[in-house]
Chains A and B, each alone.
Chain A
Amino acid sequence: SSELTQDSAVSVALGQKVRITCQGDSLRIFFASWYQQRPGQAPVLVVYGENNRPSGIPDRFSASNSGNTASLTITGAQAEDEADYYCNSRDSNSNHVIFGRGTKLTVL
């Protein structure tokens, strides 16, 4: 089955911009969705599709897509953005759902 590859850890200074990437062949066909998971909490959908945010998600979260790479950008990172971020999409071969291994974001 297909895989989605994410960096294991990324850091950003408070108030700065950070990009988290997700790579995989399925992203040439299906958009990625992005989830934030704070310690001890359930995941929360933050961005999906071409660049859509669910109600209540701050507009500092945005998505972009190019070829086999999807990116989540946080413009003006806040302390509360420190969390694990996961991408997912559908596997173009099996119709299964696949997740990246997650990126731990540290806000310095």
Chain B
Amino acid sequence: QVQVAESGGGLVKPGGSLRLSCTASGFTFSDYFMNWIRQAPGKGLEWVSYISGSGRTIYYADSVKGRFTISRDNANNSLYLQMKSLRDDDTAVYYCAGGDSPTPQEYWGQGVLVAVSS
């Protein structure tokens, strides 16, 4: 049974930092591309970043490049998103999602809320 669970969300002030974590089980984590995808309140899905199974291939959306860093620990089936210089428009539910290629994202977590506000 596949399980994906995000953690680490919360309220942070503009300019602050936050680190999201995602743990997965039920599939061979190291074989899977893992993505962070976010959804602002009342808005659509926005891809943020993905990392290949080996960690050697990484891409970021232009909106977060230079501020966010994706990483993974295959030994612990974990994915991370380090977020710095947070802005109001980073407020969203952040989903961890994986697949055996960059798309489709086959497995999704339930999401974690990040709220950026003074």
Q: Which of A's residues lie within 8 Å of B, judged by CB?
A: 1, 30, 33, 35, 37, 42-45, 48-49, 54, 84, 86, 88-90, 94-102
Known: A42-B108, A44-B108, A86-B45. A96 touches B59 (CB 8 A): yes
- Least CB distance from B32 to A in Å reads 13
Say yes or no for B109: interface residue by CB 8 A criterion: yes
**Chain A contacts for B17, CB-based, 8 A:** none
- Least CB distance from B99 to A in Å reads 8
**Chain B contacts for A1, CB-based, 8 A:** 62
**Chain A contacts for B26, CB-based, 8 A:** none
A-B contact pairs, 28 of them (CB 8 A): A1-B62, A30-B103, A33-B105, A42-B109, A42-B110, A43-B95, A43-B97, A43-B105, A45-B105, A45-B106, A45-B108, A48-B103, A49-B104, A54-B106, A84-B44, A86-B44, A88-B45, A90-B103, A95-B59, A95-B102, A97-B35, A97-B37, A97-B47, A97-B50, A97-B103, A99-B45, A100-B44, A102-B44
Quick check: A45 and B104 within 8 Å, CB to CB?
Answer: yes
- Assembly CA distance A100 to B105 (angstroms): 14
Which residue from chain A places its CB closest to the CB of B106 in the assembled complex?
Answer: A45
Q: Which of B's residues lie within 8 Å of A, judged by CB?
A: 35, 37, 44-47, 50, 59, 61-62, 95, 97, 102-106, 108-111
Known: A43-B95, A95-B59. A90 touches B109 (CB 8 A): no
**Chain A contacts for B108, CB-based, 8 A:** 42-45
- Least CB distance from B58 to A in Å reads 10
Which residue from chain A places its CB closest to the CB of B110 in the assembled complex?
Answer: A42
- Least CB distance from B84 to A in Å reads 20
**Chain A contacts for B103, CB-based, 8 A:** 30, 33, 48, 88-90, 97
**Chain B contacts for A37, CB-based, 8 A:** 45
- Assembly CA distance A49 to B106 (angstroms): 12
- Assembly CA distance A33 to B104 (angstroms): 6
**Chain A contacts for B45, CB-based, 8 A:** 35, 37, 43, 86, 88, 99, 102
- Least CB distance from A36 to B in Å reads 11
